[in-house]
Structure 1
Amino acid sequence: MATLPVMGYVVGGAFSTSIVAKSQNYFGRKISFQLGLLVAMLSALLCAYAAVSKNFWLLVMGTFIAGYYSANGQLYRFAAAELTDIKQRDKAVSWVLAGGILGAVIGPNLASWTRDLFDTAFLGAYLTLSIAGFIGIFVMQFIHFPQELKTQHSLSDGRPLSVILRQPVFVVAIIGAALGYGVMNLLMAATPLAMQICGLPFSDTALVLEWHVIGMFAPGFFTGSLIQRFGTLKIMGVGVLLNFICIAIALTGTDLHQFFIALFLLGVGWNFLFTGATSLAMTAYQPNERDKAQAAINFFVFGTMAFTSFGSGALVTSHGWSILNWGSLIPVAITGLALYWLAQQRKNSQAPA
């Protein structure tokens, strides 16, 4: 039951992808992003009221509604790429993800500092979160989105979504983003429970998760440059390799250093896969197909996250940490095979007739 509010946030994001695509198409980037931040404000206030009234299901509803903001937030990386020169798009995506370091540091500390401001636990955290949403709306007002980048067209324009989805490059982009996120979410969400079961103190868990998040976002300062130098598929391949190494280390034991190294590598592997998948996806659609294509890839990401969020706790408590890691080898292997398949497709298409 304790994981339901988190799952509500992820499922809400999955259900909101099509609505967000329509709002992005109709209002353009700026207004749509501001609407998302407004929803973040209102949902935080709803969660605050749920905390005061001790209404668990209202809390779940609040996090579900907040998923609309999350679905908008997943488009920031695409918007950044569209605002830059085509040669710098990989770096733009990478730097947006690097900005997650700020969230990783400010978010947990903000929750910790404001948790007990009032008699009701976490009321201060939710109220502070609503203020953060307001600040986001204010900051967004100063970002200039060129008029030509607003699609202002019907979502039926361009090729049908089914045609876009059948492209090998788009299939691999979806697999890389969704399964990369899924494996990361599955192991990360289960880590606190696994470490508790193994008798490790909460301070150790906090240290492991802190460095995991650093591993997720710190590479963003140079992932784009690596993609430009070595190519998208090679960097995504390194991400798959890091996931394999992460699982191998996790299977060697349950001491602090094994959790620490495994989760750090898991974060870096996710960064390489997710940044690469985003860059790959942008080569598979035309500007007038942007909204439906981006909504599709985000739907698969959120759907996978919802499944892994729901299953991680149950799997680790019923089958154990080792079984969870063995099972994670399957999606990692699928991702690796997908990358190899696309590389062969490109090699064959470039071969002389």
Structure 2
Amino acid sequence: MKPMFALFTGVACLSTAVVGLSTTAALIVVEHAGPAWSGLPNAVLVLGSAAGSLSSGTLSARFGRKLVLVLMYATAVVGALISFAGVLGGSVLALVAGMPLIGFGNSGAQLSRYTAADLAPEHRKGFALSTMVWAGTVGAVAGPALIAPAAARAEAAELPALSGPIAAGALVVAIAVIAVAVLPRGLGAPAERVSRRQRMSVRNPLILGPLVAMVGAQLAMVAVMTMTPVQLHEHGQGLDVVGWVLSAHLIGMFALAPLSGWIADRWGGRATIFGGIGTLTVAAVTAIGAPDSHHVGIPAAMFLLGYGWNLVFVGGSSMLSRDLPAEQRSRAQGTVDAFVWGTSAAASLLAGQLFGLGGYVLVAVAGGVCALVPLAVIGRRTAASEPVEKVGLH
């Protein structure tokens, strides 16, 4: 199995499992604890992803990326099995306890995009990592599609219906473990020991620019995305409308990732980030101007919101894969991803408060501001375009 195909398979499997598991877990929690707690499984999963990302950089630098990917995906299998046991035993606590371990596996899927970039020549790094982002399309389609047949299989086996999708998630992640286990032994070999002065710092402009851009885009995307179904529901739209509007968003987030990668290779990660910020701003303006338009306005805003995020995500990841010295790369990438996932949890919570204060328009305004704030950092001509040895590292 070729390395890129193995990485792609692993990411596609994790994406499929995470979408299916988080959706099913939310339904189970609603059934046992009420709708007020429905967001708990996903919030815990996101926090697990943040913790996993923070760990992955250090572990990759020490043990190499292949071993870390195998361990993280295997941890997700354990998490899914714990959640499955919780469903069988009627324990919501056990169900939720498995979610952060699944989040660890999800952080491994994020690490795969940087691994793909390491395998590619300099002029193709953006496209290589974008193919791993594109693998998320598989999960967006397959994850929800697996829920109903897996539930039917569980019922046929005289098990709780919703235990089926949890078991299916564990099986799919196990396939991911097998896929990455066949990666070459030397993939992501441990970096040489570096001195204190050479160690990674987020104050380094090569890291700070992508960091603030990706965090700003994540805040904007998650906040508006989270409240769009609520906005549609409050205006009398059914689940069919909610479904296809979110589909437009997911297409923007994942399906055009190879185009973003080509842009990053052709014009650079910084230019790609600027394009993403502009697209996110147009998305926010569209949502502000047409908050009640479920035929054109909101679907267009959600597509642009997804693709703007994609451009920033691919552009920032490309910069982190190209511009940093090898001995700092893994730790920097893991740290940035940890910030991004932590931002997701905060954005989900804050979006609800903003919606309560000023409705969907206020959420969209806040999203636009979050998207634009990074310009204060990356809009300046920084040392990011200079050779690495000229940049002060701490």
Task: Please indicate, yes or no, whether the TM-score normalized by the shorter chain is above 0.5.
Answer: yes
Note if 1:330 corresponds to 2:369.
yes
Gaps of 5+ in 2: 1-36, 387-394
When residues 85 and 341 of structure 1 are mapped into structure 2, their CA distance, relative to the original with a 3 A threshold, is same
Q: CA deviation at 1:152?
A: 5.3
- Equivalent residue number for residue 167 of structure 2: 127
- Equivalent residue number for residue 5 of structure 2: none
Pick one of 277, 281, 293 that aligns with 1:255: 293
- Equivalent residue number for residue 198 of structure 1: 235
8 Å contact from structure 1 (residues 77, 97) kept in 2? yes
8 Å contact from structure 1 (residues 10, 306) kept in 2? yes
- Equivalent residue number for residue 340 of structure 1: 379
CA distance in 2, matches of 1:201, 1:317: 21
CA distance in 2, matches of 1:329, 1:236: 15
8 Å contact from structure 1 (residues 7, 310) kept in 2? no
- Equivalent residue number for residue 63 of structure 2: 27
Letter in 1 for 2:169: L
Q: CA deviation at 1:314?
A: 3.9
Runs of 4+ in 1 over 4 A off after TM superposition: 152-158, 343-347
Note if 1:67 corresponds to 2:106.
no
Q: CA deviation at 1:261?
A: 0.6
Q: CA deviation at 1:172?
A: 0.8
Q: CA deviation at 1:343?
A: 6.4
CA distance in 2, matches of 1:346, 1:324: 35
Q: CA deviation at 1:311?
A: 2.5
- What secondary structure, in the 3-state scheme, does the structure 2 residue paired with 1:251 have? helix
When residues 237 and 343 of structure 1 are mapped into structure 2, their CA distance, relative to the original with a 3 A threshold, is farther
- What secondary structure, in the 3-state scheme, does the structure 2 residue paired with 1:79 have? helix
CA distance in 1, matches of 2:258, 2:42: 28
Q: CA deviation at 1:284?
A: 4.0
8 Å contact from structure 1 (residues 193, 313) kept in 2? no
Partner deviation per Cα, 1:83-139 (whole Å, 9 max, x = no partner): 111221111011111121111111111123323433524211110010001111111
Pick one of 216, 219, 222 that aligns with 1:185: 222
Pick one of 259, 278, 282 that aligns with 1:241: 278
Pick one of 131, 134, 142 that aligns with 1:98: 134
Q: CA deviation at 1:18?
A: 3.4
Pick one of 97, 102, 110 that aligns with 2:146: 110
CA distance in 2, matches of 1:20, 1:302: 13
CA distance in 2, matches of 1:26, 1:339: 31
CA distance in 2, matches of 1:334, 1:30: 36
Note if 1:319 corresponds to 2:367.
no
8 Å contact from structure 2 (residues 276, 311) kept in 1? yes
Per mean C-alpha deviation after superposition, the further-off stretch among 77-86 and 105-114 is: 105-114
Partner deviation per Cα, 1:199-226 (whole Å, 9 max, x = no partner): 1101111101112111111211222222
Identity rate, percent: 23
Q: CA deviation at 1:47?
A: 1.3
Per mean C-alpha deviation after superposition, the further-off stretch among 152-161 and 111-120 is: 152-161
When residues 11 and 297 of structure 1 are mapped into structure 2, their CA distance, relative to the original with a 3 A threshold, is same
1:49-60 counterparts in 2 under 5 A?
49-60=85-96
8 Å contact from structure 1 (residues 155, 291) kept in 2? no
8 Å contact from structure 2 (residues 191, 326) kept in 1? no
Per mean C-alpha deviation after superposition, the further-off stretch among 18-27 and 320-329 is: 18-27
8 Å contact from structure 1 (residues 25, 291) kept in 2? yes
The number of aligned residues is 344
8 Å contact from structure 2 (residues 151, 165) kept in 1? yes
- Equivalent residue number for residue 212 of structure 1: 249
Partner deviation per Cα, 1:37-89 (whole Å, 9 max, x = no partner): 11111111111222233322322221122221122221111000001112211
Q: CA deviation at 1:237?
A: 1.2
- Equivalent residue number for residue 17 of structure 1: 53
When residues 92 and 312 of structure 1 are mapped into structure 2, their CA distance, relative to the original with a 3 A threshold, is same
- What secondary structure, in the 3-state scheme, does the structure 1 residue paired with 2:154 have? coil
Q: CA deviation at 1:228?
A: 2.5
Note if 1:146 corresponds to 2:186.
yes
**Aligned CA-pair RMSD:** 2.2
Q: CA deviation at 1:25?
A: 3.1
Letter in 1 for 2:231: A
Q: CA deviation at 1:317?
A: 4.2
TM-score normalised by L of structure 2: 0.81
When residues 244 and 158 of structure 1 are mapped into structure 2, their CA distance, relative to the original with a 3 A threshold, is same
Pick one of 41, 60, 66 that aligns with 2:77: 41
When residues 145 and 183 of structure 1 are mapped into structure 2, their CA distance, relative to the original with a 3 A threshold, is farther
CA distance in 2, matches of 1:32, 1:158: 26
Q: CA deviation at 1:342?
A: 3.8
Q: CA deviation at 1:140?
A: 1.5
8 Å contact from structure 1 (residues 11, 306) kept in 2? yes
Gaps of 5+ in 1: 348-353
- Equivalent residue number for residue 279 of structure 1: 318
CA distance in 2, matches of 1:23, 1:254: 47
- Equivalent residue number for residue 88 of structure 1: 124
Letter in 1 for 2:347: T
8 Å contact from structure 2 (residues 50, 337) kept in 1? yes
Q: CA deviation at 1:155?
A: 7.5
- What secondary structure, in the 3-state scheme, does the structure 2 residue paired with 1:328 have? helix
CA distance in 1, matches of 2:54, 2:264: 30
CA distance in 2, matches of 1:227, 1:59: 40
CA distance in 2, matches of 1:154, 1:54: 49
Per mean C-alpha deviation after superposition, the further-off stretch among 261-270 and 89-98 is: 89-98
